[in-house]
Amino acid sequence: MNDKTILRDLAKRYAEIAALPIQEERRNLWDDHNSLKPTHIPILVMVGMWDAWCHEAFGDANMKCEDPFLRRFERDLRLKLFQYDIGDDSIQEPWITLRINPKGCVAGHLWGVDESLHNLYGVGTAGRYNPPLKTWDDVANLRMTHHGIDEAEVQRDLERLDPILGDILPIDVQRTPCYIGFMMDISTSLARLRGLEQLMVDMYESPKELHRLLAFLRDGILTNNQEAEDAGHYTLTSSNNQQPPYARELERVAANSGPRKRKELWGFCAAQEYTLISPAFHEEFMFQYQTPIYANFGLVHYGCCEDLGEKMSMLRQWKNLRSIAIAPLANVRRCAEQIQGKYVMSWRPNPTDMVCYGYDEDRIEKIVRKAMDDSAGNTVHINLKDISTLEGDTMRLKRWVQKVRQCVE
């Protein structure tokens, strides 16, 4: 079987799933949920190649396409089909995404220096960073990445992909800038550039220098984002919030929508590296620099794996904040008491308790029921993410969704 046949067979299966009525039901669910309207409790399982088990299940050894370019889309389609089989409330959108990497957008080199992760035991394993800013003089080596797209590359990729899949699924061309998601939150890059422990020391020993570095990163992101918006490269599929990016206040996600302003989109922000930083230092040495970046977006989700339980008063300063991550270590009741129904609670149970270390439905039920009781009166969904292993049992995810549905319904 050749590459074209493999891709077309996968695309046809996926197109059938994406056209099912359940997809529209889920769009309505997330439209209402993210607009703080009453719904049943949505359940999400986030899977992707950032998870070690995905490298085993969906790595190159398990792909059938020989062409590396086409293999990208084979993997994408297989992951989408797997996601549907889990049975959660994720949406299978009726298009295939062609992501165009902006010029100079090289992972681990977005600021002109090497900030890449060095895996210790191979892809998907533990790793470490070698922070390039050893001294404050090294800051002079930083360079922001300007936004630009090689349209010749776009045309070449479309000419390869469209004849194979274009009659089955629309191909959504994404020209979104490289400073987006975690690369837009400042916190991720700052810890890689300076080192997490050194960053904590800097807040006491070198506050002026740290403020200058933060201002440089903020201004670089703002410039890059504005260049992308001026070029018309934000579209409705540029939204990002670690959940289906829907809300009644925003236009629905659609392929090849044409240019949109950031004010029409969801923005994602986090500061995982600041989980041990006090609320006062978090605001002084991070939040105030994130604020002008995210003021440009229509709605914003804040948080990933960091405990924000003592930082709610800080977060409430953002008028466009709509969704807050409730991390595994957070006190759910404490968070719920502060949120008071004004924001979506994106509760993230510890994946080790759920599926990574054995599979114990009594344990799952106990943890889920307590979290739902503690968050009563709020708009909450359950987001299982950062699944490092399934111990070779991928069917656990489907069973987990079924069990959690029983708990919340």
Are 300 and 294 in contact by the 8 Å Cβ rule? The answer is yes
Sequence-ordered list of residues with C-beta below 8 angstroms from that of 350, at least 6 positions apart, any chain: 328, 367
What local confidence, expressed as pLDDT, does residue 108 receive?
87
pLDDT band at 51 (very low <50, low <70, confident <90, very high): confident
Quick one: pLDDT at residue 55? 84
Residue 307, Cβ neighbours under 10 Å: how many? 19
Whether 245 and 266 have beta carbons less than 8 Å apart is answered as yes
Single pTM value for the model:
0.95
Q: What's the pLDDT score for residue 123?
A: 65
Give CA–CA dist 42/23, Å, rounded.
13
pLDDT tens digits for 267-307? 999 999 999 999 999 999 999 999 999 999 999 999 999 99
Residue 178's Cβ-count burial label (10 Å; 0-12, 13-18, 19+) is buried
Q: Is the pLDDT of residue 121 over 80?
A: no
- pLDDT, averaged across the chain: 96
Confidence band for 50, pLDDT divided at 50, 70 and 90? confident
List of domains in the chain: 3-408 (3.20.20.210)
Residues 6+ apart with CB under 8 A from 171: 95, 96, 97, 98, 158, 161, 162, 165, 255
Indicate the angle between helix axes 68-86 and 151-165, nearest 10 degrees.
60
**What pLDDT is recorded for position 49?**
82
pLDDT for position 33: 98
Residues 6+ apart with CB under 8 A from 349: 328, 367, 368, 371, 382, 384
pLDDT of residue 129: 87
What pLDDT digit, counting tens, does each position of 354-369 carry?
999 999 999 999 999 9
CA–CA dist 383, 369 (Å, integer): 15
pLDDT of residue 119: 77
- Rounded CA separation 250/236 (Å): 10
**Among the listed ranges 136-140, 314-318, 343-347, 391-395, which one has the minimum average pLDDT value?**
391-395
Q: At 345, is the secondary structure helix, strand, or coil? A: strand
**3-class DSSP state for residue 348?**
coil
Yes or no: say if 53 and 368 are a contact pair by the CB < 8 Å rule: no
Percent of the chain with pLDDT over 70: 99
Residues of the chain with pLDDT > 90, as a percent, come to 91
pLDDT of residue 289: 98
Rounded CA separation 342/392 (Å): 40
Average pLDDT over residues 339-345: 97
pLDDT value at residue 124: 61
Q: Over the stretch 217-258, which tens digit does the pLDDT of each residue have?
A: 999 999 999 999 999 999 999 999 999 999 999 999 999 999
Q: pLDDT per residue over 191-219, tens digit each?
A: 999 999 999 999 999 999 999 999 999 99
The two tokens of residue 332 are 């759910």
Residue 313 tokens, joined:
């008063």
17-21, 122-126, 246-250, 373-377: which has the minimum mean pLDDT? 122-126
Check whether 71 has a pLDDT greater than 80.
Answer: yes
